[in-house]
């Protein structure tokens, strides 16, 4: 066979291409992703094999329940690994064919003869191939690898999880699968051959650990602390070394901490190394929680009494010292749990009566000295005559929000958003309105909608904000979506995400928690300038985004992690989860998260770690960032500083590529 034919045959036999997955068996895991199709196979053939293998798994009565839930994702990711760079992989494959065709097409017969007649032909071929790679793919190192399953830059199963399945959780099932005539054809990953890569396809295996748990209840079967030494001080051995069948006890997977699986003992225990015995069991020195309960109650009661006394002393001396103090108030940073704009959707608005206010939003009778302490003095004050109301934008808990025009002191006019306090507002609503002004008065950032001034001399009292011409981000994305026969560039996606991240980085750095970060609460101005806001507008189009949980406040559950839904815990880390959902909204052109599911169903999906799938045409690196933002453990989510750095790096990289390849 001629050398040309040999090399073409070699390419055809050893390489594959990336195709968009459009099947049904692995839709939950691979929807809208490009998967690697090996040589001599088609995506339809692989789909049929997966159907047959999944049918065997569903009918099997021998598979452990704790192992069964990982069987399908394991099969999907094994047989159809996700391509990290599908465009480059396919370009490389077809460009190779084109190159070889040009080299040996017969246009240069003299060169063809010289290549085929001596022993240097292979060297000549590889040299041409190297020059071609360096010329076309010099900007992407990963694409220099030939497109094969073993060497291509694929997103494969996380090696650590694969090893946990094979050696601990599904030891018996894994061994059977490799030899099974149907499942074996599909292919089960050889864990030792998987690369050590952080960007991998996770099966969702979690090791149950609670570092804060330092005592146990009852017999300790629910203990998940990190004590790993026995009562004699000996280090605990890994459970899988001595308990071969741990499928029924997922709390033992991948660790050597003290546990009491199946309530086998009266307290947590572990295996220790004792050469005098083959299997030596020792209990662990962990206190029982109930033994310390009364001691804790006494200590807490003592601390409460001491704190009460300290507060009384502090108030006494403060009143005594205030008689000779100058009227200066330090500006305090709000608590981390405060919403930057009051989060009007979460506030109760029961009318509890109203007190008259003077021009500084203080109750009548407040002295001028106390007025000087008010942070309102730092904000420009205007009158109703300085403002012209145009149109109503929506209605929040404080009242209606309008588009208007402000005439400034220099006689120039500027478009503004006017947030008005409704008439006959309750005392609590008035206090929240004033507190919101106080909270946002110090916020100055190019990606935060900043307050321009207030109107407090006459009702309706108003806050004036800069007006964003292109409305909220959700509407902007829909208006520029393929449904409207438009589209955004990858560079524009990154530009939007980067601005929101930098705004949130500023807020988190100043100890603010947003609580309702979503595309609807980001505004877009001309030049694709994006700023974070929260006007709390109760428009019908967003009513389905909020859900009343257990007769409490309306919550945006589709943007919330489980710790916020279940325990009402709002932190910077919960804002990071919400940012991951905003990223998903951006790349989905404003699609509602978990569209098609009711709010109660969404809560169950989030609790069971059923995450949003990768949007169409979303880069794998961006989707991986979303997954990191949705980490079950809040402390393992990336910081806004890290997110901003990554987005900035990708954005700058796109600019360089566009500059080099116009």
Residue 406: which H helix or E strand, with range?
Answer: strand 400-407
Q: What is the pTM of this model?
A: 0.46
CA distance 375 to 441: 8
9-52 tens-digit pLDDT:
444 444 678 888 988 889 889 988 999 888 778 888 888 888 88
Which of 10-24, 27-41, 424-438, 565-579 shows the lowest per-residue confidence on average (mean pLDDT)?
10-24
Cα distance between the two ends of the chain: 42
Dist. CA 266–CA 201, nearest whole Å: 39
Q: 618: closest CA among 84, 29, 22? A: 84
* Residue 213 confidence (pLDDT) above 70: yes
CA distance linking residue 583 with residue 578, whole number of Å: 9
Beta strands in 103-249 (DSSP E): 154-155
- Reported as a pLDDT band with limits 50, 70 and 90, residue 57 is confident
Q: Model confidence over 263-292: pLDDT tens digits?
A: 888 899 998 886 655 557 889 989 988 765
Residue 456 confidence (pLDDT) above 50: yes
- Whether 655 has a pLDDT exceeding 70, the answer reads no
Which pLDDT tens digit goes with each residue over 340-353?
A: 333 333 333 333 22
Q: Identify whether the C-beta of residue 593 lies closer than 8 Å to the C-beta of residue 581.
A: yes
Q: What is the pLDDT at residue 146?
A: 44
Q: At a CB cut-off of 8 Å and minimum separation 6, what does 243 contact? A: 249, 252, 261, 271
Q: What is the mean pLDDT of residues 244-267?
A: 84
What is the rounded CA–CA span in Å between residue 386 and residue 389?
A: 10
The partner residues of 554 in beta bridges, in order of sequence, read 548
Q: Is 199 a catalytic residue?
A: no
User: What fold characterizes domain 344-466?
Assistant: Phosphorylase Kinase; domain 1 (3.30.200)
Task: Indicate which residue of 338, 438, 516, 545 is catalytic.
Answer: 516
Determine the Cα angle at 396 with ends 392 and 398, to 5°.
105
Is a pLDDT exceeding 90 seen at residue 118?
Answer: no
The residue written with tokens 């291409």 in the block is: 17
More confident residue, 373 or 392: 392
pLDDT tens for 299-340 read: 787 888 888 888 888 777 655 443 332 322 222 322 333 333
Structure letter (DSSP) for residue 215: S
621 or 539, greater pLDDT: 621
Closest CA to 75 of 63, 88, 87: 63
CA-closest candidate to residue 568, choices 244, 249, 262, 346: 346
Closest Cα partner for 155 from 15, 30, 28?
30
Residue with tokens 């902007």: 476
**Range of lowest pLDDT (131-145, 240-254, 426-440, 635-649):** 131-145
What would you report as the CA-atom Rg of the chain, rounded to the nearest whole angstrom? 32
- CATH class as words, domain 473-660: mainly alpha
Task: Give, as one character, the DSSP assignment of residue 168.
Answer: I
Spell out the domain ranges in the chain. Answer: 3-193, 291-322, 344-466, 473-660
Locus of tokens 């220790």: 272
Q: Which residue has the tokens 């899988």?
A: 240
Question: pLDDT of 493-547, one tens digit each?
Answer: 999 999 999 999 999 998 888 888 999 999 999 999 999 987 544 444 566 666 7
The answer to whether the beta carbons of residues 576 and 341 sit under 8 Å apart is: no
SS3 of 255, please? coil
DSSP 541: G
Least confident range from 96-100, 123-127, 469-473: namely 123-127
For tokens 């409305």, the residue is 471
- pLDDT higher for 201 or 541? 201
Distance in angstroms (rounded) separating the CA atoms of residues 426 and 352: 5
What is the rounded average pLDDT for all residues in the chain?
Answer: 76
The model's confidence at residue 139, banded by pLDDT at 50, 70 and 90, is very low
Out of 93-107, 166-180, 381-395, 629-643, least confident range: 93-107
551 sits in the region (left: phi over 0; alpha: psi -120 to 50; else beta) called left
**For 198-215, what is the mean pLDDT?**
86
pLDDT recorded at residue 16:
76
| H and E: helices and strands count for the chain | 22, 16
pLDDT at 475: 93
- Percent of the chain scored above 70 by pLDDT? 73
The pLDDT assigned to 152 comes to: 61
pLDDT attached to residue 154 = 83
Q: Are 256 and 237 in contact (CB under 8 A)?
A: yes
């Amino acid at each position: 066979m001629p050398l040309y034919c040999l090399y073409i045959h070699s390419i055809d036999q050893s390489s594959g291409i990336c195709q968009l997955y459009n099947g049904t068996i692995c839709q939950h895991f691979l929807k809208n992703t490009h998967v690697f199709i090996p040589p001599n196979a088609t995506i339809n053939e692989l789909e049929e094999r997966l159907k047959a293998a999944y049918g065997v798994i569903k009918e099997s009565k021998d598979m452990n329940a704790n192992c069964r839930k990982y069987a399908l994702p394991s099969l999907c990711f094994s047989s159809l690994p996700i391509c990290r760079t599908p465009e480059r992989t396919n370009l490389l494959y077809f460009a190779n064919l084109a190159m070889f065709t040009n080299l040996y097409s017969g246009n240069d017969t003299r060169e063809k003869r010289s290549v085929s007649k001596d022993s240097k032909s292979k060297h000549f071929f590889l040299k041409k191939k190297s020059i071609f790679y360096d010329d076309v793919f010099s900007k992407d190192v990963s694409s220099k690898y030939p497109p094969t399953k073993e060497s291509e830059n694929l997103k494969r199963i996380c090696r650590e999880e694969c090893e946990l399945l094979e050696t601990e959780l599904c030891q018996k099932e894994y061994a059977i699968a490799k030899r099974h005539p149907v499942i074996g054809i599909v292919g089960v990953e050889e864990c030792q051959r998987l690369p050590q890569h952080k960007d991998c396809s996770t099966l969702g295996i979690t090791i149950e650990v609670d570092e804060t748990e330092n005592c146990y209840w009852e017999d300790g079967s629910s203990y998940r602390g990190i004590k790993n030494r026995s009562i004699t001080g000996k280090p605990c051995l890994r459970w899988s070394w001595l308990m071969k069948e741990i499928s029924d006890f997922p709390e033992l997977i991948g660790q050597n901490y003290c546990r009491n699986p199946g309530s086998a003992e009266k307290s947590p225990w572990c295996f220790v190394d004792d050469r005098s015995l083959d299997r030596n069991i020792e209990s662990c020195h962990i206190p029982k929680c109930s033994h310390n309960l009364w001691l804790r109650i006494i200590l807490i009661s003592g601390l409460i009494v001491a704190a009460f006394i300290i507060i009384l002393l502090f108030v006494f001396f403060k009143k005594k010292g205030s008689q000779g103090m100058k009227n200066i108030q330090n500006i305090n940073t709000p608590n981390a749990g405060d919403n930057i704009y009051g989060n009007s959707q979460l506030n109760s608005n029961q009318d509890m009566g109203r007190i008259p206010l003077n021009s500084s939003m203080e109750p009548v009778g407040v002295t001028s000295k106390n007025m000087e302490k008010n942070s309102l003095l730092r904000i420009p004050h205007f009158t109703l005559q300085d403002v012209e109301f145009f149109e109503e934008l929506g209605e929040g808990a404080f009242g209606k929000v309008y588009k208007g025009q402000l005439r400034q002191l220099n006689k120039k006019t500027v478009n503004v958003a006017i947030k008005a306090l409704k008439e006959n507002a309750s005392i609590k609503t008035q206090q929240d309105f004033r507190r919101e002004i106080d909270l946002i008065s110090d916020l100055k950032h190019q990606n935060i909608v900043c307050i321009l001034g207030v109107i407090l001399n006459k009702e309706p009292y108003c806050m004036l904000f800069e007006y964003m011409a292109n409305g909220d981000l959700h509407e902007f994305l829909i208006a520029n979506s393929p449904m409207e026969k438009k589209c955004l560039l990858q560079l524009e996606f990154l530009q939007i995400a980067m601005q929101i991240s930098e705004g949130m980085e500023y807020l988190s750095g100043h100890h603010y928690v947003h609580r309702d970060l979503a595309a609807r609460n980001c505004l877009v101005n001309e030049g694709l300038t994006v700023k974070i806001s929260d006007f709390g507008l109760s428009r019908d189009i967003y009513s389905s985004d909020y859900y009343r949980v257990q007769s409490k406040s309306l919550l945006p559950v589709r943007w919330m992690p489980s710790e916020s839904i279940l325990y009402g815990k709002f932190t910077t880390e919960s804002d990071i989860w919400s940012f991951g959902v905003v990223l998903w909204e951006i790349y989905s052109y404003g699609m509602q998260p978990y569209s098609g599911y009711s709010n109660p169903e969404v809560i169950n999906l989030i609790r069971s770690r059923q995450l949003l799938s990768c949007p169409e045409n979303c880069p794998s690196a961006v989707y991986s960032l979303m997954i990191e933002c949705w980490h079950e453990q809040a402390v393992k989510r990336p910081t806004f500083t890290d997110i901003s750095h990554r987005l900035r790096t990708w954005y700058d990289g796109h600019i360089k590529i566009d500059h080099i390849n116009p």
